[in-house]
Structure 1
Amino acid sequence: MTINNHINHIAIIGAGPAGLSMARVLKKMGTPFTIYEKHHNTGGIWDMNNEGSPMYEAAHFISSKTLSGFPDFPMPAHYPDYPTRVQILAYIRAFAQHYDLERHIKFNTKVTQIEKTEQGWEVQTEYGGRQIHKAAICANGPLWQANIPAYQGHFSGTIRHASTFKKSTELLDKRVLVVGGGNSGIDIACETASYANEAYLSLRRGYYFIPKHIFGVPADVFAHGGPKLPTKLNQWILKKMLRVAVGDQTKFGLPKPDHELLESHPIMNSQILHHTSHGNLSVKPDINYFNGNQVHFNDGSVIEVDEVIFATGYDYAIPYAKKHFDWKDNRPKLYMNLFSPKHDNLFAIGFMETNSAAYEMFTEMAKLIGDFLNADPETARKFRQKAETEVLDLSGGLKFVASARHTGYVDSDTYRAFLKKLQKQMGWKPYKKGDYLTP
């Protein structure tokens, strides 16, 4: 079999937001690249028709259009504060077209394996294609491999993961239990409260539920506009404000959080209090065991339901390169959440959780990768030494909840501060507003 040599090209695997952000940076730098995309178009998970996409019809962005767009390519002014999945998909595709990225993409080309060679990385595709690239950047996204927990007993109804949920009408004439307190779980629970005969939500712990608007503006815009305060003071002030805006959430049947505000991924939802206070949605603790169509909970209570939807998150997966990374809690271990400490010129972008909108950070992170790829040998050597030996604490003093989801979680302000410090050490310029105004 002929192996094509694209040694001067960087391989980007995935044409979702992270991969496209990476492509725009490399294009600006004049660095050749090829994008491999297993689906027929750009957009990643936001195309609900892509097999395995966790998207559902009623999905919206959880951060606002004001702060969530790609740098220098804002979302359209006519978009609502929290755009729909259809609008986000259109926006991502408009981004790819505006920067002329589609001509660099091999669509319908699934990468099955990458292997280290003397020249770089050999990328193997589903139908036998092989190409050697200088570097490989994994950008296939973290939300494709569903995590379904195991419980004792047998449930006689339907059990499925939230990734299979597509239409709210699927819930009609059913008694439904949603399990999980992430943003998708809470959103689906609210849809269940509107459509199902009976709606229940099982939460392992209490969470802080942040309304999408504070004083009439999107919550993230409100928080972003305030002064930068010490972590403890910021937590205290925001907690007091949330208490004023929401009140005592335990009165609505929602458990008291077992952690401080900002120490878990923010849950942005304005409907949960409406549905719990109106009796449309009943909140239950963690499941103990199943018995037929009965669900027994840790507090001794029992309900009968027809369906259980596990909104219990995802295991990060890079199936074509799993052996090339070290893993913890199904998360790849990465320096700056980007660089493989094990292998030169192997990267992963988008495999992270943070308390900020992701698309802007993707550009800043992509630039760090691009600067490394274009660095002189001595600077690249110094950086690799850091990537292989330096252990970073990017928590910003926050004690994140001890869960797999928060493994590798970073505070965005802390990450950006260290990024600027790192760029200064290496002699690389940070991203500044306006760098990508022109294609």
Structure 2
Amino acid sequence: MEYTQEPIPEIRSERSIGMHGPNTPFRHWKVMRDYIADILHRNHYEDLISYNTTVEHVEKTGDEWKVVLRKEGKKQDYWWSETFDAVVVASGHYWVPYIPAVEGLEQFEKTRPGSVVHSKHFRGRDSFHDKRVVVVGASVSAADIAVDLVDTAKSPIHCVTIGHTTNVFFGDVAFDHPKIQQHPSIAKVVNRTVHFIDGTSVADVDHIIFGTGYSWTLPFLPSLPVRNNRVPGLYQHIVWHKDPTLLFVGAVGAGLTFKIFEWQAVYAARILAGRATVPSQEEMQKWEDERIQTHGDGPKFSVVFPDFEDYFEAVRELAGEGEPGVGRKLPKFRREWFRNFIDGTELRKGLWRRWNAKAKADLEKDGVKARL
């Protein structure tokens, strides 16, 4: 997932080595944080950034974009506006947690502040020692959290997965653990009892953790409303049909994350530099219409997997080679990138399978001892 010219440091944590072996491809979050920071600082790029500043409003006025900004102060906030020739939205879509509306959930949280948690704010198992926990969600965050809690929280961990779409990469392997009990959707919460739509319930619940993803939101850009948790009108998930001076980087559900950002950023930069062109509005609309037919008009519209090669090559062709000695040269897609990605997901699934098998064997052994 690394950028093509900036390899991720070969720094592996002892925990990751213990779980996945000496060649583990996974890195601690601090390594990834420093990786990004080092890229930012190497050429004093940070001097071009205004930190602790929020974008409050963006609108096109004539041939320019008016951007209203706010910086918080100790005694007062400072507001001002600036104008730009173009705007690149790179704020991502993993910012606003999505928590579904559940009858009684708000009262459950009011009665026990901190009892409702989204995976964005999950900071480890220590706070859940000997607590009865319900985990909502069937994707990777819910899976990681449930597995992390099996030997800390009260057994079993109650997971709301039945009838929910599992992660396209990891499936439901993690939830096949003897200390995890799977349930369908929550019907309501009454006091500390969670009732499920099949009529079953769990009493004396201490925490409900939601691994239910995020909501796309662009509050600063009212001219481009989000629809069905995606941004409509983006050609190749990058160029706004109505005005190519509004571009997006990161408006995808990706797997090769940094590389996809790199390809998108290069194309966006070359458009703004006049070194790449955009198709006609009709052609861009046709691309979106055809993708809706194949992927639907919801979140799956923006999922690149498993068509990485097709997408990378399409964007690389649009970006072009660039002028000699100017800009970043995008290499042809290498299938080893896809293989490495799949190998990483299989490595994690293999770990879950081993843990599940060991837990089942331990329970069986304990049962034999009890019968003796």
Alpha-carbon distance in 1 for matches of 2:285, 2:165: 36
383-392 vs 290-299, which moves further: 383-392
Task: Please report how far the alpha carbon of residue 382 of structure 1 lies from its aligned counterpart in structure 2 after TM superposition.
Answer: 4.5
Q: Indicate whether 1:85 and 2:37 are aligned.
A: no
* SS in structure 1 at match of 2:67: strand
Trace 1:216-231 onto structure 2 (pairs within 5 A).
Answer: none
Q: Indicate whether 1:365 and 2:264 are aligned.
A: yes
Of the candidates 96, 116, 121, which is equivalent to residue 145 of structure 1?
Answer: 96
Contact 1:202/1:285, CA 8 A, preserved across alignment: yes
Aligned length: 300
**1:267 corresponding residue in structure 2:** 170
What is the TM-score with the length of structure 1 in the denominator? 0.61
Contact 1:171/1:192, CA 8 A, preserved across alignment: yes
Contact 1:340/1:387, CA 8 A, preserved across alignment: no
Trace 1:19-418 onto structure 2 (pairs within 5 A).
Answer: 68-79=1-12, 80-126=24-70, 127-153=78-104, 156=108, 158-198=115-155, 199-205=157-163, 265-267=168-170, 272=174, 276-277=176-177, 279-304=178-203, 305-321=205-221, 323-333=222-232, 334-354=234-254, 356-375=255-274, 380=277, 382=279, 386-387=283-284, 390-391=287-288, 393=290, 404-410=298-304, 411-418=307-314
Q: Residues 11-37 of structure 1, C-alpha deviation per residue, up to 9 Å, x if partnerless?
A: xxxxxxxxxxxxxxxxxxxxxxxxxxx
Structure 2 counterpart of 1:205, which letter? Answer: G
Alpha-carbon distance in 2 for matches of 1:119, 1:206: 46
Task: Please report how far the alpha carbon of residue 116 of structure 1 lies from its aligned counterpart in structure 2 after TM superposition.
Answer: 0.9
Alpha-carbon distance in 1 for matches of 2:280, 2:297: 30
Structure 1 counterpart of 2:181, which letter? Answer: S
* SS in structure 2 at match of 1:327: coil
Task: Please report how far the alpha carbon of residue 385 of structure 1 lies from its aligned counterpart in structure 2 after TM superposition.
Answer: 5.7
Q: Percent identity?
A: 22
* SS in structure 2 at match of 1:362: helix
Runs of 4+ in 1 over 3 A off after TM superposition: 152-157, 204-208, 379-390, 392-395, 402-405, 420-430
More helix by share: 2
What is the TM-score with the length of structure 2 in the denominator? 0.71
Sort the Cα spacing of 1:189 and 1:196 in 2 relative to 1 into closer, same or farther, 3 A.
same
Structure with the greater alpha carbon radius of gyration: 2
Q: Residues 374-394 of structure 1, C-alpha deviation per residue, up to 9 Å, x if partnerless?
A: 227xx7474566435543646
* SS in structure 2 at match of 1:181: coil
Contact 1:174/1:197, CA 8 A, preserved across alignment: yes
Structure 1: 5+ residue stretches without partners: 1-67, 209-263, 434-439
RMSD across aligned positions (CA): 3.1
Contact 2:161/2:182, CA 8 A, preserved across alignment: yes
Alpha-carbon distance in 2 for matches of 1:381, 1:358: 23
Structure 2 counterpart of 1:170, which letter? Answer: S
Alpha-carbon distance in 1 for matches of 2:153, 2:82: 51
Per chain length, whose mean CA-contact separation is higher, i.e. which structure has more relative contact order (CA < 8 Å, sep 6+)?
A: 1
Contact 2:193/2:201, CA 8 A, preserved across alignment: yes
Contact 1:138/1:347, CA 8 A, preserved across alignment: yes
Sort the Cα spacing of 1:393 and 1:171 in 2 relative to 1 into closer, same or farther, 3 A.
farther
Sort the Cα spacing of 1:162 and 1:314 in 2 relative to 1 into closer, same or farther, 3 A.
same
Alpha-carbon distance in 2 for matches of 1:380, 1:183: 38
Structure 2: 5+ residue stretches without partners: 13-23, 71-77, 333-372
